[in-house]
Every structure is written in C-alpha cells, then in structure tokens.
Chains A and B, each alone.
Chain A
Amino acid sequence: MKITRDNLCSSIVKEIAEISGENVAGCYQCGKCTAACPVNTVMDILPHQVLRFLQLGLVEALLNCNTIWICASCFTCAGRCPRGVDLPGIMEALRLILLRKRGFSRIKAGVIPRVADKGMPEQALVSAFRKYTR
C-alpha cells in the first residue's frame, strides 16, 4: 500500500475532521476505547483501528465497514479515552458522510411511537436519531 501526503490530507479526511471537530493525530493507539466498547465483538474494524485507519487516510474501508453502524453511540469509549478523543463524534461523522450522500434519514420521528416499547432507554432514542438522521 502506498502512503502519500495527498491520501493523508484528502478532502474527505478534512471533512471528517470538520464534522467531528477532532484531530485524529491525538490518538496514540492505546486501545482503551476498544477494550471498553460493549459491542466490540461484532464489529469488523475495532474502534481504535477506526482511528488508525483515519490516521493513515484509509477512509474507503471505514465507509464500508459495519462498525460505524454497530457503534451504539453510548460514549463509553470517549469517557475512558486518556487523550480525550471523541470517537463517537468521529463515528458519527463517518455515518453522516454516507447519510448525506444518500440524501435521506433512516428514521423519521413519526415512526417512534409504533416501535418504541416502555423498556427502551431514552438515550437509545437520542442515539438512534444521532445515528440515522442527516
């Protein structure tokens, strides 16, 4: 694989930085985020690897992975990160890029009363909107 400055600073890398407000260089790959993530077993790219891929400018792989959709947006990783990296923000940026390209939101407010049961935590609803809307 060839690495060039153009890949490292591509427009999509810049866009992710802009949406998330994060400098991915801040991550030093300790892996704490992955270790803390409650759904890491079913992800195809682990949370810390998401950051490594971004540091290397490998955005394509990230846009095609299941991780960004499996991420529960629970913020556990961000709470534990010793470098203060907002990984959920970055996951969101990646999803937003896809959602905006597709041009529609996955859920609409109107369907919520039908699918939500009483036991559903409110945070899950908030997260669902974060995850699936433009």
Chain B
Amino acid sequence: MKRIGVFVCWCGTNIANTVNIEAVTEAAGKMPGVVYAGNYKYMCSEIGQSKIKSAIIREKLDRFVVASCSPRMHESTFRKTAAAAGLNPYLVEIANIREHCSWVHKNKGEATAKAIALIRAAVAKAARDKELWATQIPVEHRALVIGGGIGGIQAALDIADAGFEVDLVERTPSIGGHMAQLDKTFPTLDCSACILTPKMGEAASHPKITLYTYSEVEKVDGYVGNFEATIRKKARSVDLEKCTGCGICWEKCPSRVKSEFDEALSMRKAIYIPFPQAVPNVPVIDRASCRWFTREKCGICRKTCPAGAVNFDQEDEVLQKKYGAIVVATGFDVLDLDDFGEYSYGKHPDVLTSLEFERILNSSGPTGGRLLRPSNQSPPKNVVFIQCVGSRDKSRGKPYCSKICCMYSAKHVILFKEKYPEAQAYVFYIDIRTAGKDFEEFHRRAVEEYGALYLKGSAGKVFPDGDKLLVKGVDSLSGHALEIEADMVVLATAIKAKSDAPQLARLLGISTDTHAFFMEAHPKLRPVEAHTAGIFLAGACQGPKDIPETVSQASGAAAKAIVLLSKENLLSDPCVSEVNESLCTGCLACIKVCPYSAITEKTIEEKIHGKALQRRVAEVNVALCQGCGSCTVSCRPGAVNLKGFTNEQIMAEVDAICL
C-alpha cells in the first residue's frame, strides 16, 4: 500500500476565506492511500516546508500532494522539499485549489466540495507516480549568429567577449546591414558609419568570431545545447586570403548593374564590394551579371588582379558545425509601394523612399552627399515628407506603427535644412510618435528651430506639374485642403519582416507573428527568447526597432546565450514521451502532430513463432521532446505515454472526480 501525505495550504486568506480548510483536511485524511493530512497557513514558507519534511520522515510518506496554488508557482519548490527529505522529486503532486478554486468561486460550500474533488484527483494520480530522473545533456560551447546587421554584430561581440566562439553568418557580401546605408542617426546625429565601422572591424578581427559573409544557413538540426547547422558559403569567385582589396578589378570591370546598397540609385560592377567600408574588404563576382559567367567572355578582372585572387572556378562550400545557442538577427525589409500609386513612386524620379533619401544624403552615397533632385540635379527648395506610408494601414499596408519613421523624418528635415537653410520642409503626419530618450525634444527642434511645417493629415495625391511635383493634402487641424508645389517628395515607407522570414522560421523551428516577425516566448517577460529553447532574437527581425533598441535586445539575447553556453551540461526534464513498442502499430500518426519534430520512425526486429520479423515503430528523441503530450492523444492503440502524465494517471484523475 502507498503511504500518501496531503498538505493543505491556506495561502493566508487567499484560499482559507473561500475554502473550509479543516473540512478539506479531514476529507483528505480519509482518501485511499492517504496516511497523513495536515494544513498550514503558508505551505511554501520555510516553516511550511519543514512541516512537510518532518511528516515525510515521521509518517514514512513515500509520496505527497500539496493542495495550494498553481504548480507554475511552487511545484519546483515542493519538488526540492521532497528531494531534501530523500524522496524522488517526481513523487509530488499539486492540487491547484487557488487559481482553479478559491479565486474563481464565491460560495464556500461549493468551493470546499471542489477543493476536495481536486485533491482526490491529485491523490489518485500520486498513487500512480513513478520515480523519474532528469538526464544530463552536454552543451556545445559555440554560438551561431544569423544576420550581420548591427543586431547580429552586437550579439556576436558580446558572446565572444564572454569567451565563447561565435560564427556570424551574413547573406550579403558584407556585414553592416541597414545601418551601413544610413547617413546620420537620430537623436544625436552621429554619423552612422563612424559608429558602425569600428564595430564591424572589431567583429572581423575578434579572435573568437568567425565571419561567414555571402553565406547562408541551409539547415538546422538538433536541440538546445546541441544544434547542428549546415552553412553554405556561396562562391565569391575571389580568394579571401589573396585579395588585398586594391579595387583594380571593379574599376576595370565593364559590366554595370544597379547597386542594391544604393537602393538602385547608382550602378555597381559585376565584381564589387557593396560599399567602401565593407567588411571583409574583398569583392564578390555577381555571376548573374558577369560576362565571363554569362557569355564566357571578358575575364578582365582575372587578368588585371595583381594578387591573382580572382578564381572563376571557385565553388560553393558547405560546412556543418555544432552550436549550443543560436541568435537570429536577420533584420527587416522596406515595404514595396506597388499598391500605392497615388504617390507617383517609381513614376517620377523625385519621389523617393526614406531609405533612398538616406542614400542621397550620405557622403559615400550615389551623389557623394550632395542633396540634389534626381530628375535635374538642381537643389531642392521645397521638400514634402509624408509619414505613415503603408504603416497603420490595414487596407493596403501594415496595420502596425513602424516606430522609427516619425524620428527619421524629423532627422531628414534637419539634415535637409542644414544643407539648405533657406528651403522649406513640409511633413504630413497622422500622429507624432516620439517616445524615447531625447526623442520628443529632437522632433520639436525640427519644428521650432528648423521651421518644418508639420501638417496633421495625409497626402492624397502626388503628381508631376511642369518640372515640379504637386502634392495634394490636408491640414485637418485648420480644416484646409492644401496644395504644395514640391521639388522632392520623401515617403516614410513602412518596414516589414524579411520576405523569407517564414522559411527561416521553419528551418529553425521557431514561430512568427501574423506579420512574419519572429515571435518572442513572452511579450513582456521573455522578449529575447524564441519559443524553442536555445534560440534567441535580436533586432528588427522581431518587430520594428531603432538602433538603440536593437543593440539592447542584442545584448539581452547575448546574455541569455552566454548563460546557456557557460553550462557544462543541461538537465533535461524527464517528463517526456515514450513509446511502448509492443503496442505501437507503426501508423506514425504521432509524427504528424509533434510540433517539435521529436518523433522519428525506426525498424525493430521481433521473434514471432521463432521467425525474425521486421516492424516499423515510432521513436521519441527525448532531447527534443518538450512534453506537450500531443502525440499521446493522437495514438490510437495508446502506445505513447508521457512520463509523469501517463494515460493511466489521467484516467485515474478523471475517475476520482467523476465516480
């Protein structure tokens, strides 16, 4: 016979006011298998726990039930109590008579009856508890950071500074991300390159960081502490070791295509570095536009390269490496404006997105920092900025606020007026959202010092009018419909998740929200962790963010990764599924429902009537299983069982309540 103890907690008045503690204790004492029942004001306190410990020894209890708050609150506390008294910690059950009972009921009689029923169920389950043991999984002390924008760079530096090896995988030929494209940054107007390039250099020269640029992660297997990633290093066609970055090749290359980095406002060569401060400072050949690869002609770069670094025969390299933790920092894209014909974007060269405007402002940009109208290279006198283009728009754009555009529009006003003090800036806005340290003050400077006319309302149409653009808008504050003659129109275009974010999420086994931003494990309390253990999120891939926020989140993600990497072993939760092979029919229904891909098939050999037969059965990878229990309900013969929550235990609980 089992020797079960029941400990009823008052939780001060939380439970005791609604549940008759004495009646519950008395009823519990008579339940099958129960040899002791007691109660105390705060079971979780030191005194409460020592009461449990001494009862275990005095009454020779071999398992016990605590009737108290939610197991989320104190299950681990009472498991430790059990262990301290020499009991296996999995021989403890919690009957939740607070959240599930006293807090949701008013009638004391009914609440007392319910509390007794809940304890009866817990006692029935406890009687069927078995000892379980956590296993140890070793941790690979290396991190993988995907995405080399400011978020990825910061996370990599922090993890590497803590002494762990980091591989930083960036898809494009250089690290830097969007920040490398920016001119100056709000709210301090630091030059973006001046604060970014030192960090890029530091990441490149850090002894613990390996950069994989022009590379992509193709596959990720494994689980927390033991991921295995497949990385494809695309062929650069230039030897990273030999190239000195002299630039002769791209000077001589005859093939010109639009520069992605300059938002198609300038041309680059087929052999190119995206921008002068690129890291690494080694070009790649874009084989789709190279004459050698498309027409087997030319080869000028190979001929002229003084270091003999150009190698047309280079092939993609695929490597496999193990990682303990992964940080995802793949950033954002700018919304496509195809559906927003009213702005004449793409039809008139003087209508630009903010990112294009950023390139034109930039001294290393397509105009060398001279702010001129793209149509005729003349200085603009009137510039209209339109905010919330595609943001907060549930019909054609994104319903969310892109968060950064109020601030960068104020920045654009200031930079424009710095260049042309006599010119006029107009800004159409719906609301001004400048929450952040020194942000509101920055915005007010654009209004008061730089004299930008902020117009509450939207612009309904932008169209060419002679060599100008006519902007039709409204000032909803004064109730005037307006027309403004503009030399340039700048659209603060919504930012959105990367278009391939869902694929990357699938590859990593993490989830995305309705807008394809990666989802955090908890919006308030676990904002830098993905749902999948060991994967962390940094920067705009998780939602619109500016640089300070990206950097903070990256350091947060790095700290979480460091905590993981600094462990020798991880303890795995023993409450995982197991397959009873003699019952399993091999239908593999469980494989389909498991959200963690923890189940695989295997073939077993059996002797039936002296004959060896092969049979297909399911197998659970205990390191991947998160104990959700989905498989157990999908299994028709009932062959899968979740340890600590077996089918038999659940049925016993139901019976205890219903019979």
A residues with CB within 8 A of B: 1-5, 8, 23, 25-26, 28-29, 49, 52-53, 55-56, 58
21 CB < 8 A contacts A-B: A1-B480, A1-B482, A2-B484, A2-B485, A3-B426, A3-B483, A3-B484, A4-B382, A5-B382, A5-B424, A8-B453, A23-B448, A25-B447, A25-B451, A29-B477, A49-B477, A52-B477, A56-B453, A56-B475, A56-B478, A56-B480
Contacts of B448 in A (CB 8 A): 23, 25-26
Contacts of B478 in A (CB 8 A): 49, 52-53, 56, 58
User: In whole angstroms, what is the CA distance A56 to B456 when docked?
Assistant: 12
User: In whole angstroms, what is the CA distance A3 to B477 when docked?
Assistant: 15
- Chain B residues within 8 Å of chain A by Cβ, number: 20
Contacts of A28 in B (CB 8 A): 444, 447
The closest CB in chain A to the CB of B426 belongs to: A3
User: In whole angstroms, what is the CA distance A5 to B423 when docked?
Assistant: 8
B residues with CB within 8 A of A: 381-382, 423-424, 426, 444, 447-448, 451, 453, 456, 475, 477-478, 480-485
User: In whole angstroms, what is the CA distance A89 to B423 when docked?
Assistant: 28
Q: Determine how close the nearest CB of chain A comes to the CB of B383; give it in whole angstroms.
A: 11
The closest CB in chain A to the CB of B447 belongs to: A25
The closest CB in chain B to the CB of A24 belongs to: B448
User: In whole angstroms, what is the CA distance A26 to B443 when docked?
Assistant: 11
Contacts of A29 in B (CB 8 A): 456, 477
A5 touches B381 (CB 8 A): yes
Contacts of A4 in B (CB 8 A): 382, 484-485
Q: With A8-B424, A25-B448, A26-B448 in contact, is A3–B481 under 8 Å at CB?
A: no
Contacts of B480 in A (CB 8 A): 1, 56, 58
The closest CB in chain B to the CB of A55 belongs to: B453
Q: Determine how close the nearest CB of chain A comes to the CB of B281; give it in whole angstroms.
A: 45
User: In whole angstroms, what is the CA distance A99 to B447 when docked?
Assistant: 31
Contacts of B424 in A (CB 8 A): 5, 8
User: In whole angstroms, what is the CA distance A52 to B481 when docked?
Assistant: 14
Among A25, A28, A29, A58, the most chain B Cβ lie within 10 Å of the Cβ of: A25
Q: Determine how close the nearest CB of chain B comes to the CB of A61; give it in whole angstroms.
A: 10
B481 touches A1 (CB 8 A): yes
Q: Determine how close the nearest CB of chain A comes to the CB of B439; give it in whole angstroms.
A: 14
- A3-B482, A52-B478, A55-B453 are known; give 5 further A-B pairs, CB within 8 A: A3-B484, A52-B475, A52-B477, A58-B478, A58-B480
Contacts of A53 in B (CB 8 A): 478
User: In whole angstroms, what is the CA distance A53 to B444 when docked?
Assistant: 19
Q: Determine how close the nearest CB of chain A comes to the CB of B423; give it in whole angstroms.
A: 8
Among B475, B478, B480, the most chain A Cβ lie within 10 Å of the Cβ of: B478
Q: With A25-B448, A49-B478 in contact, is A3–B456 under 8 Å at CB?
A: no
Which 8 A/B pairs are nearest by Cβ-Cβ distance?
A5-B424, A25-B448, A52-B478, A2-B483, A52-B477, A1-B480, A25-B447, A3-B484
Q: Determine how close the nearest CB of chain B comes to the CB of A82; give it in whole angstroms.
A: 12
The closest CB in chain B to the CB of A61 belongs to: B478
Contacts of B382 in A (CB 8 A): 4-5
Q: Determine how close the nearest CB of chain A comes to the CB of B126; give it in whole angstroms.
A: 63
Among A3, A49, A52, the most chain B Cβ lie within 10 Å of the Cβ of: A3
A1 touches B456 (CB 8 A): no
Q: Determine how close the nearest CB of chain A comes to the CB of B451; give it in whole angstroms.
A: 6
Contacts of A2 in B (CB 8 A): 482-485
Q: Determine how close the nearest CB of chain A comes to the CB of B386; give it in whole angstroms.
A: 15
Contacts of A23 in B (CB 8 A): 448
Q: Determine how close the nearest CB of chain A comes to the CB of B409; give it in whole angstroms.
A: 16
Contacts of B483 in A (CB 8 A): 1-3
Q: Determine how close the nearest CB of chain A comes to the CB of B476; give it in whole angstroms.
A: 10
User: In whole angstroms, what is the CA distance A56 to B484 when docked?
Assistant: 12
The closest CB in chain A to the CB of B423 belongs to: A5
User: In whole angstroms, what is the CA distance A55 to B426 when docked?
Assistant: 12
Q: Determine how close the nearest CB of chain B comes to the CB of A28; give it in whole angstroms.
A: 8
User: In whole angstroms, what is the CA distance A28 to B453 when docked?
Assistant: 11
Q: Determine how close the nearest CB of chain B comes to the CB of A18; give it in whole angstroms.
A: 16
Contacts of A25 in B (CB 8 A): 447-448, 451
Contacts of A26 in B (CB 8 A): 448
Contacts of B426 in A (CB 8 A): 3
User: In whole angstroms, what is the CA distance A65 to B420 when docked?
Assistant: 36
User: In whole angstroms, what is the CA distance A9 to B426 when docked?
Assistant: 14
Contacts of A52 in B (CB 8 A): 475, 477-478
Q: Determine how close the nearest CB of chain B comes to the CB of A55; give it in whole angstroms.
A: 7
